[in-house]
Amino acid sequence: MTTDSLKSSAVQKLYNTYPFPPEPLLDEPPPGYNWRWNWVAAHNFCTGQKPKRENIRILDAGCGTGVGTEYLIHLNPQAEIVAIDLSEKALEVAQTRCQRSGVIRNRVTFQHLNLENADQLAGQFDYINSVGVLHHLPDPIKGIQALANKLAPGGFFHIFVYAELGRWEIQLMQQAIALLQGEKKGDYRDGVAVGRQIFGALPDHNRIVKREKERWSLENHRDESFADMYVHPQETDYNIHTLFELIDASGLEFIGFSNPQYWQLERLLEKAPDLMERAKNLSERDRYRLIELLDPEITHYEFFLGKPPLLKTDWSKDQELLAAIPERHPCMTGWPSKDLFNYDYLPIELTEEEFQFIQACDANTDSQQNLATILENITLDLETVRSLQRRQLILLSVKNPL
């Protein structure tokens, strides 16, 4: 076997031993939402407008035990979905999960397949989801290129990979467990036992222990999560420079991080206008690097890529905005209320005017009235409408010509 094949086999063995993620199986659809798995919400984030169709093809590349797959099915009822993974045991759990919750449909198929062999899948996909997978491949560049080749023109690719700065203590623990395992390295149950003993022996003030208690202990009480974090046989952690080397190798367009608020330098250096002025001379990527250096808590990158042609709308022209059809964003918690949680589960408070406007948008799904018509009965300026769209509280779409 080649070195890459051996590494893939080791990863497969881990997830056959500890299928991941170990979320409980439910006898009902999954609760809430993750907007990144909602095609309408993701399309709106990437382009500034609602997609023209929802009967798309979605690939869940590295589905594991189907936690994300279940949401993809639930949140995209018109989509055809294909889910692939290298672990047979994880796939068994994924299929059981979707059957138990009642979301499984004829348009969903599960396939035992490595990401690198995605070319074996029929056709192309409008949306590809790959969360927590590329960084576990022997050759992440080969993996991202294989998936990029399956992305349809105008399609989007949602990716989650690890960041090295916020996982420094995890890297130390991984190496310590490997040293103590010695010849038993690759025995994942032994690795978990060794790791548990280390944490039990280290003093409370130890930096690795403190980090575990602060960030990971709630999920790591389950051996599946502990094994995935501390005894994984193959992992690549990224920084901004290496991340964009991966992105550039895909041949796709970088659209943006799905948590843009983290990547605002103002939140860190607003009190130093001279430094903010100096930062204007930096490239976008160097600004990103500066941000992660100054706030090294980041544990992962989550972002969107796209395959041209990509149609983006900024709604800067009043005439085009007034002709648009507004709807309420599908990902909100607590609606209808002026105090609610937005698409990112962050608390927000609407003004009375904003609340009335979104109520009108909520009722506009069927009537499909344009913005100009709605504003005849509600007093709201266009800049506030644009703000609601940028904040992912409403969707805007162009009316299809007759």
Residue 402 lies in a domain: no
Query: How far apart, in whole angstroms, are the C-alpha atoms of residue 244 and residue 121?
Result: 27
pLDDT of residue 375: 95
Report the CATH number at residue 94: 3.40.50.150
Residues 186 and 148 in one domain: no
The residue range of the domain holding 141 is 3-164+237-262+298-306
Of 282, 306, 330, the domain-final residue: 306
Residues 72 and 141 in one domain: yes
Element (H, E) at 257: strand 253-257
Residues 253 and 110 in one domain: yes
Residue 340 lies in a domain: yes
Element (H, E) at 129: strand 125-131
Residue type at 206 in one-letter notation: N
pLDDT of residue 401: 46
Residues 11 and 150 in one domain: yes
Query: How far apart, in whole angstroms, are the C-alpha atoms of residue 217 and residue 226?
Result: 9
* Segments of the chain scoring below 70 in pLDDT: 400-402
Residues 153 and 241 in one domain: yes
Residues 86 and 196 in one domain: no
By the 8 A CB rule, do 24 and 70 touch?
A: no
Residue 100 lies in a domain: yes
Residue 286 lies in a domain: no
pLDDT of residue 402: 39
Residue 24 lies in a domain: yes
Residues 150 and 9 in one domain: yes
Q: How far is CA 28 from CA 68, 176, 262, in A?
A: 15, 41, 34
Residue 202 lies in a domain: yes
pLDDT of residue 104: 76
Query: How far apart, in whole angstroms, are the C-alpha atoms of residue 37 and residue 129?
Result: 8
Q: Please, which residues have CB within 8 angstroms of residue 55's CB and are 6 or more apart in sequence? A: 78, 79, 80
Residues 48 and 83 in one domain: yes
Residues 331 and 256 in one domain: no
298-328: pLDDT as tens digits: 999 999 999 999 989 999 999 999 999 999 9
Residue 134 lies in a domain: yes
Residues 131 and 203 in one domain: no
Residue 75: name the closest of 99, 41, 108 by CA: 41
- Tokens at 201, concatenated: 């022996």
Q: Report pTM.
A: 0.96
- Total domain count, the chain: 3
Residues 225 and 242 in one domain: no
Residue 292 lies in a domain: no
Residues 342 and 216 in one domain: no
Query: How far apart, in whole angstroms, are the C-alpha atoms of residue 246 and residue 145?
Result: 9
